[in-house]
A and B are shown apart, each in its own frame.
Chain A
């Protein structure tokens, strides 16, 4: 066990990475899924182990191949990365439990091996981005994640051929984002002569006033913002989420953009340092309006959507706005709220997408017009969606309330006009959330079901994982010590551990 424990950071990446080619060779409908689920669960177990160790003894550093830090590649698990790893692998495992019957309906059987192979690569890539302590490595893992995610999204092609164009658009925009990040890292390398994050950070102050570094900041922020689907770089997200297979949407909604939020935090706080980011370059003034427009404008857009998956996708962009605002507040309270919302939104939105997935499985469509009266046809699924919707709105006793509460506390802490205005904006955005969730509720419960529609629930293999997420989200809304505790730890680490 001690051998496993000492290699934990690398194991979390290497297990899914090595399993991916194996998976590609497997045939049939059950084997690839089974292997992927086991691998993801292992990865989750390792992440739990890492998080516990980190919160007990502080950050773990792992030297790849035994090469010492600034020269070799270093993996670092600190409170923030360990927390995000836990979220990624946890969401992935939960979604996989749901995947077997759902994906068999959406992807041709002979492609399942390749599909799950791409899924494992995406998982490995995201875990890698989170744990690596090397700036160039971030780009490598980012590309692994991106390439596999283009494939995964394009897999929705059987149900709706628009999946292909959305994957292609994501490819173009995503590649630009990745290239920007690469250029930014390259500029930092040029100025510091090192790729190790801790090393760059320690030399950053000396070179902060140079033009190439300023350019690097601009490249990195834009690159990450594209990947994060920060308004107005979100154009790729609604289509990609709408047309991808259900489990891919659920998986990415909980993880992909969250990893980018992690990257933003990592660059702003660890590499640039809060003082440079907010004092010298005034990123706060830049990110704040984008976040505010995101949660107001995108919530409004969500109201008018006719496709529930697309509606939730726009709501995701809005929720990312909350996280952006939390970061832009540049205070420990704001940071806590932001990190907390990564967790809370991941679990809530995944649950919502899974319940929509159940509806798609049975009704064959996510368009509101096809879901009329779904409340009486699929009572359990729809009730799950309503509960998830309440959590998204931020009703007390749900995680949405907890993170909004922290965010409101953080904005009020400013004590100035902007703080009050932000609070009012957030309340307004919550009201908008009430409206877009209500639209679904109205269609589901208050419209008569079409006469020929049969009342049939989704199979248990879909319902149970969905309800795990729904009940889980309420658990974390009531018993907040776990998520709030780790988020606070991560935030104080970022603010103090520079």
Chain B
């Protein structure tokens, strides 16, 4: 393999070949590229390559260490699975966008300095928007534009931060930093936008469900996890992140419960799961960071898997709305099976990967004495059981639709099933053999996953959450908010937490909406002012008569003369 070539380049450059191919060759090419990239990454091992002096600063094109390697592995797997899943797509643009997007995300993971990171950061933004636009609807176009604006803003803030950081330290090195200067705050905000911090999160739910069936799968894997990686690299042990993470776990839960569209529900839940990782970064111990890396990997596996299942439903039936689906297990048995496994993973059922990864973060928080945080995470875990673990299989596949079941359809195409099987297999494998999984993690920490207390706690959570869900369905009150609170009576912290979340959520939303409205009005004012003064044929762009120009010249000459005379 080419020595020191950033594996991301293999995917990006390979994408340029895609338009030249078609049919079977193209399928072969798009599947070969992630494999080649993976091989390149493995053959490189650990270290730094491509060190260049640019404008007196050190740029490192490729840098692989244990932390970036974990993300690199899972990104390659996700890219491969997503491409396999989207083989049926005949749209060249989507293949190219997927490859460039995945390639630049991998490139960003292996970027050794801030400038390289920025370049890849922007490429991910620009390439991924084509996956949204590929839906070719007016809604998707608008949503894509909003997505692009937010993503590019994140890049601009990052660039601003880099400029300040270089001015402060004279170095482009990308390593742990202290919050305190303008530069580091800019980094935190730039990363926070991509990581979908609370109040910066709207782009996720806005854009992901608008993308194409395959586009959502691809999108869900990279952008937010790239941000998690960047946070883990730059801000481990920053206390602020713990609190942000807690809000992040709780905040999207409310919306997820109320959401009818299954893909949108998933987007909210994914957001909530990100919160776990942000908390882990905030705790910042070796064990917590291991948990972050592990949970990010697992989260990519199950999020992709579940987006694949809901995508397959959408592909076959044309809708992903819970109220319009039902009894699909008869016609799509294999997809239903994978969805159930995916749900088991997301609820962290023992013997699945998320059980191993989530308990790492939970234990780390207990070990550092963050009991409060631990409780919130438990609440988040329960919420995810209700929202995803049960909602998707039940509403999507098993419940009989009260009005009428949709017409029987075929099961998902073979390549989609293969992609789902691949992710399912990995998720189970990592859960059954946590030792092998943990050996890939950045730090060497001995940790026993399958202790009695872990298993029992988790099973208890799952059982009671299931009970609550079943009762809610039986009584016909799901997803009414009010009854949900009644149901949660026996889980004190759930009730308190939930109503607290709802009250504060509503409050924050009100203030936020008012603030946004104010800003929008301000921006609209500035724009209309600019149009009035700078528009075509308006004051600033009018061709003034020569005599007026001469008068202006003489007037300014007078001013300069005064300035010059004044000693």
Contacts and interface: CB of A to CB of B under 8 A. Distances in A.
B565 interface: yes
Contacts of A221: 560
Given A282-B563, A402-B55, A305 B536 contact: yes
B307 to A, nearest CB: 29
A306 B119 contact: no
Contacts of B167: 409, 412-413
Contacts of A427: 156, 160
A304 B540 CA distance: 11
A232 B563 CA distance: 18
Most interface-central of A211, A221, A235 (chain B CB within 10 A): A235
Contacts of B491: none
B556 A232 contact: yes
Interface string A382-422: 00000000000000100000100100110011000000000
A176 B404 CA distance: 84
B534 A281 contact: no
B561 A218 contact: yes
Given A226-B553, A396-B119, A408 B541 contact: no
Nearest to B552: A232
A409 B163 CA distance: 8
A189 interface: no
B403 to A, nearest CB: 41
Contacts of B166: 409
A423 interface: yes
B127 to A, nearest CB: 15
Contacts of B565: 211, 214
Contacts of A209: 567
Contacts of A112: none
A190 B550 CA distance: 26
Interface in A454-485: 480, 484
B546 A172 contact: yes
A52 interface: no
B55 A176 contact: no
Interface stretch (A143-151, A197-205, A295-303, A346-354): A295-303
Interface in B516-567: 530-531, 534-536, 538, 540-541, 543-544, 546, 549-550, 552-553, 556-557, 560-561, 563-565, 567
A305 B534 CA distance: 10
A300 B563 contact: no
A305 B541 contact: yes
Contacts of B115: 396
A480 B55 contact: yes
Contacts of A215: 561, 564
A441 to B, nearest CB: 13
Interface string A218-242: 1101100010000011011011000
A406 to B, nearest CB: 8
Contact of A301 (B55, B540, B553): B540
A280 interface: yes
A281 B562 CA distance: 10
A141 interface: no
Interface in B104-124: 115, 118-119
Contact of B540 (A168, A282, A297, A413): A297
B164 interface: yes
B557 A169 contact: no
Contacts of A498: none
Given A173-B546, A409-B167, A427-B160, A301 B556 contact: no
Contact of B543 (A217, A238, A484): A238
Interface string B263-304: 000000000000000000000000000000000000000000
Contacts of B156: 427, 431
Given A301-B534, A427-B160, A396 B118 contact: yes
A300 B530 CA distance: 7
Interface in A299-354: 300-301, 303-306, 314
Given A218-B557, A221-B560, A169 B546 contact: yes
Contact of B564 (A176, A214, A232, A314): A214
Q: Binding site of A, secondary structure by majority: helix, strand, loop or mixed?
A: helix
A443 to B, nearest CB: 15
A281 B530 CA distance: 33
A412 B552 contact: no
A218 B564 contact: yes
Given A238-B543, A297-B540, A304 B534 contact: yes
A172 B550 contact: yes
Contacts of B119: 396
Interface in A158-217: 168-169, 172-173, 176, 180, 209, 211, 214-215, 217
B103 to A, nearest CB: 17
B560 A173 contact: no
Contact of B553 (A222, A300, A413): A222
A281 B55 contact: no
Contacts of A180: 557
Contact of B549 (A235, A300, A303, A480): A235
Contact of B534 (A169, A300, A409): A300
A481 B565 CA distance: 43
Contacts of B541: 238, 301, 304-305, 314
B536 A235 contact: no
A286 interface: yes
A172 B536 CA distance: 24
A306 B536 contact: yes
B563 A408 contact: no
A392 to B, nearest CB: 17
A286 B561 CA distance: 11
B58 to A, nearest CB: 15
Contacts of A211: 565
A238 B557 CA distance: 22
Nearest to B535: A304
Contacts of B530: 300
Contact of B563 (A173, A286, A303): A286
A364 B561 CA distance: 47
A214 B564 CA distance: 5
Contacts of A408: 163
A233 B553 contact: yes
A281 B536 contact: no
B531 A304 contact: yes
Contact of B536 (A297, A304, A413): A304
Nearest to B560: A218
A221 B563 CA distance: 12
A217 B54 CA distance: 40
A431 B164 CA distance: 18
Contacts of A305: 536, 541
Contacts of B163: 405, 408-409, 412, 423
A408 B561 CA distance: 31
Given A173-B550, A211-B565, A215-B561, A297 B118 contact: no
A155 to B, nearest CB: 20
B124 to A, nearest CB: 15
Contacts of A297: 534, 540
Contacts of A219: 557
A286 B538 CA distance: 26
Contacts of B536: 304-306
A402 B534 CA distance: 29
Contacts of A306: 536
Given A218-B560, A232-B552, 13 more contacts: A168-B546, A176-B553, A214-B564, A218-B563, A233-B549, A238-B541, A281-B564, A285-B563, A304-B534, A304-B538, A314-B541, A408-B163, A423-B160
17 contacts: A172-B550, A173-B546, A173-B553, A214-B565, A218-B557, A232-B552, A235-B544, A286-B560, A297-B540, A300-B530, A301-B534, A304-B531, A304-B538, A402-B55, A405-B163, A412-B167, A480-B55
Interface of B: 54-55, 115, 118-119, 156, 160, 163-164, 166-167, 530-531, 534-536, 538, 540-541, 543-544, 546, 549-550, 552-553, 556-557, 560-561, 563-565, 567
Q: What 4 A-B pairs come out closest when comparing CB atoms?
A: A214-B564, A412-B167, A300-B534, A218-B561
